[in-house]
């Protein structure tokens, strides 16, 4: 039995097969190399006589969130009043979105709108403190 691998232009292993004859376009490899490569089709490259596994991307972590309660609990009374006034002065859509949100997902449209309001009102450093991710 002849052990063979097919690779693409980037040397990615796209197929592993055994046959009684050489198949055009395939590369004949040792049984040991074939055994390693056959379990990594689509996830490894054939470089010379080595199978190089392509590391998979680590699972993405969920975006951090900040609870609405924490936003206002972290503020002084004066800061909360200023933020609330700035929110009420925003356009209706932004005001309603912020008012309806109980958990601000960092990077989301509503989080960025709230962050802009707090930065404009209290500065970037204070916004970072107020909008720090919640512990839960």
CA 24 vs. chain centroid, Å, equals 40
Cα 78 from Cα 96, distance rounded (Å): 22
Classify residue 99: in a domain, yes or no. Answer: yes
> Is residue 85 assigned to a domain?
yes
What per-residue confidence (pLDDT) applies to 56? 81
C-alpha–C-alpha distance, residues 82 and 86, integer Å: 6
Residues 45 and 70 in one domain: no
Strands (E), 13-102: 13-19, 27-29, 44-47, 50-53, 65-67
Between CA 5 and CA 40 the distance in angstroms is: 11
pLDDT recorded at residue 60: 81
Q: Is 92 in the same domain as 72? A: yes
SS3 track for 37-50: HHCCCCCEEEECCE
**pLDDT tens digit at each of 136 positions of the chain:** 899 898 998 889 899 898 888 888 888 899 998 889 888 888 889 888 888 888 887 778 899 999 999 999 999 999 999 999 999 999 999 999 999 999 999 999 999 999 999 999 999 999 999 999 999 7
Strand 27-29 with 44-47, pairing: unpaired
Q: What is the pLDDT of residue 23?
A: 86
Task: Assess if residue 115 is contained within a domain.
Answer: yes
Residue 29's domain comprises 2-53
Q: Are 63 and 54 in contact (CB under 8 A)?
A: no
Note whether 8 and 49 are same-domain residues: yes
């Amino acid at each position: 039995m002849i052990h063979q691998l097919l690779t693409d232009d980037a040397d990615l292993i796209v197929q592993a097969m055994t046959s009684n004859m050489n198949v055009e376009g395939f590369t004949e490899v040792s049984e040991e190399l074939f055994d390693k490569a056959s379990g990594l089709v689509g996830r490894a490259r054939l470089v010379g006589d080595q199978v190089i596994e392509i590391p998979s991307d680590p699972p993405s972590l969920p975006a951090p969130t900040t609870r609405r309660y924490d936003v206002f609990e972290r503020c002084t009374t004066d800061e909360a009043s200023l933020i609330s006034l700035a929110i009420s002065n925003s356009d209706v859509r932004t005001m309603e979105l912020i008012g309806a949100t109980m958990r601000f997902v960092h990077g989301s449209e509503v989080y960025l709108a709230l962050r802009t309001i707090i930065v404009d009102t209290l500065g970037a450093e204070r916004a970072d403190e107020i909008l720090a991710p919640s512990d839960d």
